[in-house]
Amino acid sequence: MPKAYKLGAYKQDTSAANCYQAGTVLSGANLYSTLERPDGVNLSAVPAGKTWYLTRIMVAGGTAGTYAEIGYGDSAVHNSVSAPTNAQKLSRVIGVAAADTIVDKDIFIAIPAGKYPFIFATGSMRVHVEYVEE
């Protein structure tokens, strides 16, 4: 019987070798930050000929009424009031209903080749994203 693997909103019947984790910490209001690898280094742009599918987002902290948006741009930024070059906000994906809570949501958002995925947050929060490269 074949096995099934799930990563957020993404399901497949092969191993999760093409699945990754990234995140960022935003320490202020209305800031942009490129997603980072677990070791704290900014992700590079999506490789040529590939697409990253963001499949799950988890947000911790924040204050009631704050929210996070996912987008992509042509440059990397970290905790910046300035958006990445040619920033495209894709989705207001997650809101914080109460302070110091964790919100976990399956998503399915494509990031095209050559782009840097980022989070825009209206308040301080920690963000974790899972994604698949195809």
Question: Per residue in 19-40, pLDDT tens?
Answer: 777 888 888 889 999 988 877 7
Cα(71)–Cα(85) distance, rounded to whole angstroms? 11
Interval 71-84 mean pLDDT: 94
Rounded to two decimals, what is the model's pTM? 0.83
Are β-strands 19-26 and 125-133 bridged in parallel, bridged antiparallel, or unpaired?
A: antiparallel
The residue count of the chain comes to 134
27: number of Cβ within 10 Å: 13
Tokens describing residue 108: 């399915």
The edge-to-edge listing of strands for the beta sheet with 31-34 is: 31-34, 116-121, 67-73, 88-95
